[in-house]
Structure 1
Amino acid sequence: MAAYALLLFFSCDGTQRSGGVPVGTASVIATEKASFYIDTLYTGLENPWGMAWLPDGRMLVTERKGEIWIFEAEHYTGKKLTGLPEVYQRGQGGLMDIQLHPHYRENGWIYVTCAKPGDGGGSTALMRFRLTGTQISDVETLYQTTPLSASGVHFGSRIAFDKHGYLYFSTGERGTKENAQNLSNDMGKIHRLHDDGRIPADNPFTNQPGAKPSIWSYGHRNVQGLAYDESGDVLYATEHGPRGGDELNIIEKGKNYGWPSITYGIDYSGAIISEQTEQEGMEQPIHYWTPSIATCGLLYYHGDRYPGWKGNLFAGALALTHIARIEVENEKYVHEEKLLQNIGRVRYLAQSPDGLIFVLTEDPGMLLKLVPAA
């Protein structure tokens, strides 16, 4: 703990930085299977949410208030993009995730999830756009969830592409528990689409009267972590429980993940939500956290820069302010290690094109890079 505090004291000066903390003078952080330094690249971000890299090395970082930063490669001097439509900034809602199309070099599409305004409130939407310099153009709304709500909680939302070309994005149940089990609305679900927003014909509920055909899985409370393992063709998700019961799940076609019929948590008031933690026809998490760590952001690490971490999952913890490194074998949870305790509210983690892990935190709002010590 002293090493983290000392490092951050010298690193986080509230200004832009070029190059971050010199590796030769930073403190080494030793963990069970890797040692690294923290390189603090930028501070002063306001509720950062997601990040992605352009092929030329520049990085895009979203802020919930509806702005996107673009950082130059190496120097991390930032500018803001222009041309993004207004987002519905209310409570937990606003601009959220950002991902590039897997074939970005050919088509130039960048995808975001956001809370989009409408009559009577707002809802989670999936949008895409193209970028020229710092100017956004060709904005398309591919999917807007319904019904709209004035609630300020549980919007989701993360984006993931699989190796078959399908796009997944998550939604929260907007604070109305019953939404998660109701197939006639979009809330508390993970949706599967073609990259242009069309509904795949083999989605599980396309032929069920009254059901939303975009739904891939349901019974979710508020999924704010999605990670895809291409080698195993596995989609992982983390979702917020109430008081206790944060979950790590493997997402499969048409499955019901139980909220609120089964849960390992209780309500914030202490009231019982459900007496049951298991029920026939509902999936069990491969791991759950009680007390809640407030999971947000999920990374499946497939690089070689930290050899001991290859194939591990990394989940951010908002409430307990650390990174959870999770070992999974044969799709089963086997071990967990806490990294960077008290670093701040960890909102998101991502693997850069060169295999390094980058981290976004809130309070303070920082962009960090984990640099292998070897």
Structure 2
Amino acid sequence: MKNQLVLLLLAAFMLACKQGSSTSEPAGEIVVEGDSAQTTPVKVKLQTLHENFSNPWGMAWLPDGRLLVTERSGEILIFKDDKYTGQKLSGVPNVYAMGQGGLLDIQTHPKYNENGWIYLAYAKPVGGGGATAVMRAKLRGNELVDKQEIFVASPANSAGIHFGSRLAFDNEGYLYIVAGERGINEKVQELSNDLGKIHRVFDDGRVPQDNPFVGTANARSTIWSYGHRNPQGMVYDKENNRLWAVEHGPKGGDELNLVEKGKNYGWSVVTYGIGYDGRPISDKTEMEGVQEPVKYWVPSPAPCGMALVTSDKYPGWKGNLLIANLAFKYVGRIELNGTSFVSEEKLMENVARVRHVAQSPDGFIYVITEGPGKLIKLVPSS
């Protein structure tokens, strides 16, 4: 009888544990606390606002409070007041939905209230496969109209990998565009193509004449920096006029970089990573003329979208970078001293593969994940 009672109590305990870990658990049940020697503790509750995404990639807010979230398959979902409206935008461009390709980042123009431009980065189907492309458009109701293609990376190929595709605007209204190396290492150090580069253009795609390689023979005039593998996170620090990017290395060698005009970031002649087959890619981890990463990771957490915390809602995190990580399933909170790395704290560990982190206009942090696909809001908690 005593043994039966023990077994019943054990079964009840296991059932309670299982129910407590269910994805249908009420929002706000999970609490994480950030702390370090540099900051005061910050507690946040994770509120799951939406589930059942497949492969969400980017998010952007409109002035009327609506949130637009892209799905890699080619959809843009509309949220309002932290709830899915059941509506989607129409007029989305056709995408090269192959492997990692599809509809990727979305951003609004800094002067959206004046001009109404929305920017989409996506893998475009072209002859020979797919290419990283950027289109801008306006909204008429829930339809994208007045569509203008302003950038297409060349050369295209049939690989379904490494499109890059993050977008960021600086204080002067210039647009920065990431084009991944598409698995073609030998193209990255060459200036005659767009692959493995971060590009800078006017908001309509025109080339600024102070770009670093304007007038250089055979160089692509949109290039701002080169020697990148596959950056999938980029954010502009408006207060300090700094452009930050994180990029995927191979097996090890993921990087956080301060992206500067005309600089070479080394791929694939310099890397802290090795090939997926375990073979060396380069015998160099540093070289004259190549920018060192501000931070590198071995093994690879697979950093993706990122945000800079400027909100007063998270006082202990203000000025920190929040970096989504796919493989190791966490949000990395990066503390900086100017442009130097100080420390990293892992938040939201094992919730899901974290694709992107963004700060809303009213100062809250939102996270999108895949496997399972969720929209999560980080709400400060006393």
Mapped to 2, the partners of 1:128 and 1:368 lie a distance apart of 27
Which amino acid in structure 2 is aligned with residue 28 of structure 1? V
Residue 109 of structure 1, aligned match among 109, 117, 123: 117
Mapped to 2, the partners of 1:9 and 1:35 lie a distance apart of 22
- Per-residue deviation, residues 266-292 of structure 1 (Å, max 9, x unmatched): 000001000000111000000000000
Aligned to 1:309: 317
Q: How many residues are treated as equivalent by the alignment?
A: 361
Q: What is the aligned-residue RMSD (CA, Å)? A: 1.4
The answer as to whether partners of 2:274 and 2:281 remain within 8 angstroms in 1 is yes
Aligned to 2:238: 230
Shift of 1:120: 1.1
The answer as to whether partners of 1:205 and 1:212 remain within 8 angstroms in 2 is yes
The answer as to whether partners of 1:72 and 1:78 remain within 8 angstroms in 2 is no
Aligned to 2:340: 332
SS in structure 1 of the partner of residue 121 of structure 2: strand
Aligned to 1:297: 305
Which amino acid in structure 2 is aligned with residue 353 of structure 1? P
Bigger Rg, structure 1 or 2 = 2
Shift of 1:11: 3.8
Aligned to 1:49: 57
Residue 30 of structure 1, aligned match among 28, 33, 36: 33
Q: Does 1:68 align with 2:71?
A: no
- Per-residue deviation, residues 282-311 of structure 1 (Å, max 9, x unmatched): 000000000000010011111110100000
Mapped to 2, the partners of 1:117 and 1:5 lie a distance apart of 45
Residue 87 of structure 2, aligned match among 79, 82, 86: 79
Distance 1:262 1:39, change over 3 A: same
Shift of 1:343: 1.0
- Structure 1's unaligned 5+ residue stretches are 13-19
Mapped to 1, the partners of 2:116 and 2:270 lie a distance apart of 42
Aligned to 1:17: none
- Structure 1 stretches of 4+ with a deviation exceeding 6 A read 4-7
User: Percent same amino acid at aligned positions?
Assistant: 54
Mapped to 2, the partners of 1:236 and 1:53 lie a distance apart of 21
Shift of 1:5: 9.0
When normalised by structure 2's length, the TM-score is 0.92
Mapped to 1, the partners of 2:43 and 2:115 lie a distance apart of 39
Which amino acid in structure 1 is aligned with residue 34 of structure 2? T
Which amino acid in structure 2 is aligned with residue 350 of structure 1? A
SS in structure 2 of the partner of residue 147 of structure 1: coil
SS in structure 1 of the partner of residue 96 of structure 2: coil
Mapped to 2, the partners of 1:70 and 1:264 lie a distance apart of 40
SS in structure 2 of the partner of residue 178 of structure 1: helix
Aligned to 1:9: 22
Shift of 1:27: 4.0
Mapped to 2, the partners of 1:282 and 1:53 lie a distance apart of 37
Mapped to 1, the partners of 2:33 and 2:82 lie a distance apart of 25
Aligned to 1:359: 367
Which amino acid in structure 2 is aligned with residue 181 of structure 1? Q
Aligned to 1:97: 105
The answer as to whether partners of 2:32 and 2:347 remain within 8 angstroms in 1 is no
Distance 1:6 1:287, change over 3 A: farther
Which amino acid in structure 2 is aligned with residue 339 of structure 1? L
Distance 1:6 1:246, change over 3 A: farther
SS in structure 2 of the partner of residue 157 of structure 1: strand
Aligned to 2:4: none
Aligned to 2:9: none
